[in-house]
Structures are given as structure tokens and as C-alpha cells.
Chain A
Amino acid sequence: MERTEQRNQIVRSESRLIAGVCGGLAVHLGIPVNYLRIGFLGLTALGGAGVLLYAWLWVFTPSAEESKAGALRSRGTGPRTLAEEMGRVQQGIFSPREMSEKLSSWRETLIGAALLLVALLALGQWLGLNIRWDLIWPSLGIIAGVLLAWLQVDGQHLDGDRKAKALVFGRLILGLLLAIGGLLAILSGSVSTSDLLGGMWAALAIITGAVVVLLPWGARLWRDYLSERSNRQAAAQRADFAAHLHDSVLQTLAVIQKRSDDPAAVRTLARVQERELRAWLYETEELDEKDVVVEIQAEADNVEKLLLRDVDVITVGNARGFDGQQALVAASREAMMNAAKHAEGTISVYVECSEQLIEVFIRDRGKGFDVGGIDKDRYGVRESIIGRMQRAGGQASIRSGETGTEVELKMPRNSSQEDTES
């Protein structure tokens, strides 16, 4: 409950019964919150001073969210770590997670208190006290209206969607009507109807005048608010970029500096990073992640990262959901791993999806090996590439020569549940 704010300013607490005044004050003064609540109730009993003080503090102290957002704005562009920046933005702007929960709990309390009050009054009347219901009902209306309107201020729904905005507005107007109605009802007891009507016209004239005079100011404040908000959004976006660059590019550059004696590793690191950054910046094409093309690309990325080798993947067409897809991807992975382990130079992978067939070619530039001699010592090749493909209804063949080895995988595309996309 006592959320420590490292600040000397009174901030209305996030854990609140009504508006968090007591909670905030408790943190500020270092007194248990319940003592303060009892104190406020006592003051209220002494002629309502507690209510006034409460209302005064409510209006003039910022809520925790507001104050965080304010701190966020005022801290400007001083030097700080990017991770910190990212953290700040997230907690500052997107925090109201338990709000609704709290609202509903204290709402129940309020309703209970109101019912209790009515019951007490009824009891009083029953005991013979002269209770003026004609004043109490309007007062209750005024109080309810004021509460309803004020509570919307803390709701912070103004940033939400249109529906939430309309709800806030509706409540505001309802509150206004309740309060005005209550006041008029009280007044109608002492003032004649014709005077009341005349007064209303006068009040309307005054309000109209005030609105006309103040409208430009209001509009300007609104504009300022909007620009402030868009600034904040831009800052959040920038922080997002900064955080990403920090996590990816800066880290990679650090690793590159450490490994500067190993040119191959540096090259591959730079390449993996480039691919990742490019995907993050420009990724527009959204292929299904179950697509065979995407799966093979992912395997190639893994090989690049694991063994720090360059793997170039060229793809033509796409396909997914055919029977041998899993086997094809696994065999491709095995072939890429073999190439990365046993050969030098760039590994070229070419995937072509035609209407009947998926073909994958994995080529390296190693010294090659005797394909006839793989039976005994190259169990990996025989089992995990050739055997796997054959069991799944496909074919694998390996050609090896002085200029490199090429593994060719073919998988027919004749499944029943297949989705064709060409």
C-alpha cells in the first residue's frame, strides 16, 4: 500500500479508496494511512472541515500517473542509458493496469456508505427527528453529481478510444445535470419560480459571455496539450529505436571488437546483424511462418549464428503444408550444417517451389569428398539426409567435386491438405 515515492512532493497514491489523498499524504508524512483516514473522518464530523480539506488536496495535488508523466517530460535529454530510457517510457506512459480493479472496489464502498447514510436518516425520522427530505435529496443529488464529474478527471480515459471518451463525457454531463438539478431544487424552496427562471437566463448570459471570452485560451491550451502528447509519442518511438539498436547493433559491434583477430567471424557477425537490422527496419513482406521458404531461411540463420558461416538463401515461389515438409527442412538443415562444418567459403542455398515439386540445392565450395565412400564413415549424410528424404517420399542426391559439393533435395508436392499459393 505504501508506495515509496522518492520525492518530497505530495502525490496522490495509486492505491486509493476515493482519490488517493490519504494514501499520498501518508507516504509524504510517514504516518499509517488508516490514521489519516480516521483523522479526515473526524474532521468531517466537526462541521465538514475534513471534506473541504480532502477536496482541496484532491484538486491541488497531482496523481501518481500525472506526476510520473511530468517527471518524464521534465527530465529532458540528459545523458542516460538507453535501457533506462526504455524503462522510463514504459512505466510512465503505459501503467494504469490495476486501475479498474481499484475503481470498482472503492465504488462499492461508496455505495455502501450512501445506503448507510440514507438508513441513518430514515432511522432518525422514525425516531421523530425533523428531517427535511426536501433539502437532503437535492444535496445528495449535488454530491453524487459532483463526485461523478470529478471522478472522470482521474479516469484518464481521454486517450482511449471513442467509446471510452463518450462514456466519460456522458458521465460528466450526468454529473453536471445532477448537481444543477439539486441546486435548483434547493433554491426552488426559497425563491419563486419566476425569479428562478429570470436568474437562469442571467446565469446563462454570464456563462455565454465567459465562454466567448475564454474560448481562444481554451483552444490554445488544447492545442498545446495535443502537441505535447505527440512529442511524447515521438520520444517513445525514438526510445524504442534506441533500445533496439542498443540490444542488437551495439552489442554486435562490441563482440566484433573483441573478435577482431578472426576475420571470418567478424564478417559473419556483421552479416547476421545486417540481416536482423534490415528485417526489423524494412520487413514488409509477410510470409506465413510455416512456409517452407521461411523455415529454411530460419535454419540458415541458425547455421550462420551457430557456426559463424555465411549462408546465402535464394528462394523462388513458396509452399507450405505438403507432406514431406518437415523432412525436407530437416534434411536441408543437415546439409547446411555439413557444409558449414566441412567446407570453406559461402554456402549457397537455393529453394524453388514449383507446382509439383519443391527443390532445395545446398552448395559449398569445399574440396569435396568421395560420394561413393559415404556408406561407412558418413552416417550423418546417409541417414539424416538421404534416408530421411526417401522415407518421406522424396529424393536426395549428392554431387561432389574439386570445386565443391552440392546436395540436391527433391520433395513432391502431392499432399491432400496442401494449400497452393501460386
Chain B
Amino acid sequence: MSSEQQNFTVVLVDDHGIFRSGLRADLGEDLRIVGEAGSVEQAIEVIESQRPDVVLLDVHLPGGRGGGGAEVLRGCAHLLGSTKFLALSVSDSAQDVVTVIRAGARGYVTKSISGTEISDAVRRVAGGDAVFSPRLAGFVLDAFGGAKVAEATGIDEELDLLSDRELQVMRLIARGYSYKEVAKELFISVKTVESHVSNVLRKLQLSNRHELTRWAVDRKIL
């Protein structure tokens, strides 16, 4: 995954100074921190000027119109092609996850994650892949998985359904398997796992699937 040891630039966005300094100490040496921000406005400004590879974005941020991390994503929407966003939150609350992912984040990790894990996640996101936590996988299965598909009308086959393989990958991630373990379990390469996960992320971002909408409305997300 990151064997080429490419140096990536990172901007930290979090309103807690203590957490930022901890993160700075934790991140791998190949990840260069080029800016920090503690509010929505600052974040947009720093990201505009620095154009980093990856932004580590706290979901709950003060400032702006109260939209937090999702508002930063919307403010930087034109940069989404070059700058990747990895969302951070104090926990895996469904609301937080979905809001930032639908706004364009490439992945989601909890703040309790270890230094090596978060460095790996940053590299993976910088490399164009998606980072799924077990909780996010669980949500995807909840929204896309169980429901019967046959009778559904107006479903965009490409966007609104997960392939069997994607479902398998999601289930294993939800069970706590790493990408490597998933690959081993399914006898496929890690690269293939990554591409499945990226596909799922895209569907999660773009699908207007009925269940997804209802799920979101139930949880007052939309």
C-alpha cells in the first residue's frame, strides 16, 4: 500500500489543541503537517492556501454556520479532486459518519485510534482509497444489505445495489477484519479489497436509495 514511502502533506483540523498536539506526535514521519486549524473558517482558509494531500477533519468544529466538518467539506468542494479528507470524531456515531461521508470525506476513523493506525489511514486515503471503520461497514450493510431488492422500483442498479463481493467485504470489515485479513479470507488481493471498498464508498456518497434516505431521516441527518 504505502511501500513507495511517498511524503504526504497533511492539514490538521480540530478545535482541541491538546488533541492536535497529540496527533502531531503520533503521525508517521513521512506525513508532513503543513497547517492546523481550529474552526470552520480557519480550516477553509488553511486548506485553500496549503492545498494538502490529506486533511484530517474533526466532525465537530465550532464556527461557520454550525455545520462542523461537513461545512468545511462543502466549502472546499472544488478541491475534493486533489485533496482527500479523512474524518475524525470522538466516536462512531452514525450521524457523524454519514454526514461527513455524504459530504465527500474518503474515510472515517475514531479519535481513539492508535498512531500507527491513523498514519496508515492517512496514507491509504492519500493513495485514493477509502477507509472504513467496522461501524461504517455496519451502517452500509444496514442501509444497502438486508432489504429485499427484487420488488424495488426506480433503483439505479449501478448505484443502489452492492455486489455480492462488496457485501462480503463489508461483512468482514464489520466483523473486525483488516483489509489484509479480508483479502486472505476471500482469496483476493488487498488491491481488490481496496477497490471494492472505494466502490462502496462511492455508492454511499451518491446513492439516493430509499432505505438510505429513510435511515437518514429517521436519525435526523437530512
Contacts and interface: CB of A to CB of B under 8 A. Distances in A.
Do A and B truly interact? yes
Interface of A: 267, 271, 274-275, 278, 282, 284-285, 312, 314-317, 346, 348, 350, 352-355, 361, 363, 403, 406, 422
A275 B138 CA distance: 18
Contact of B93 (A278, A317, A352): A278
A397 to B, nearest CB: 14
Contacts of B145: 316
B91 interface: yes
Given A278-B93, A312-B176, 6 more contacts: A274-B91, A315-B138, A352-B146, A353-B146, A406-B175, A422-B146
B174 A314 contact: yes
A312 B146 contact: no
A406 B175 CA distance: 9
A388 to B, nearest CB: 21
B58 to A, nearest CB: 16
B175 A317 contact: no
Contacts of A361: 175
A350 B91 contact: no
B106 interface: no
B90 A274 contact: yes
B167 to A, nearest CB: 11
A316 B175 contact: no
Contact of A317 (B135, B146, B219): B146
10 contacts: A267-B112, A284-B219, A314-B135, A314-B175, A316-B138, A316-B141, A350-B134, A353-B146, A355-B146, A363-B175
Contact of B91 (A278, A348, A353, A403): A278
A346 B174 contact: no
Nearest to B137: A314
The contact size tier of chain B is: 20 to 34
Interface in B120-179: 134-135, 137-138, 141-142, 145-147, 171, 174-177
A265 to B, nearest CB: 15
A242 B6 CA distance: 49
A361 B138 CA distance: 13
A316 B171 CA distance: 10
Contact of A350 (B147, B176, B220): B176
B26 interface: no
B181 interface: yes
Given A285-B219, A363-B175, A317 B142 contact: yes
Contacts of B141: 316, 352
Interface string B164-199: 000000010011110001000000000000000000
Contacts of A284: 219-220
Q: List 6 tightest A-B contacts by C-beta distance, closest first.
A: A348-B176, A314-B138, A350-B175, A316-B141, A361-B175, A314-B174
Interface in B99-125: 112
A161 B208 CA distance: 46
A271 B91 CA distance: 10
Contacts of B175: 314, 348, 350, 361, 363, 406
A403 to B, nearest CB: 7
Contacts of B112: 267, 271
Which of B91, B93, B138 is the most central at the interface, judged by chain A CB atoms within 10 Å of its CB? B138
B141 to A, nearest CB: 5
A285 B142 CA distance: 15
Interface string B18-35: 000000000000000000
B50 to A, nearest CB: 32
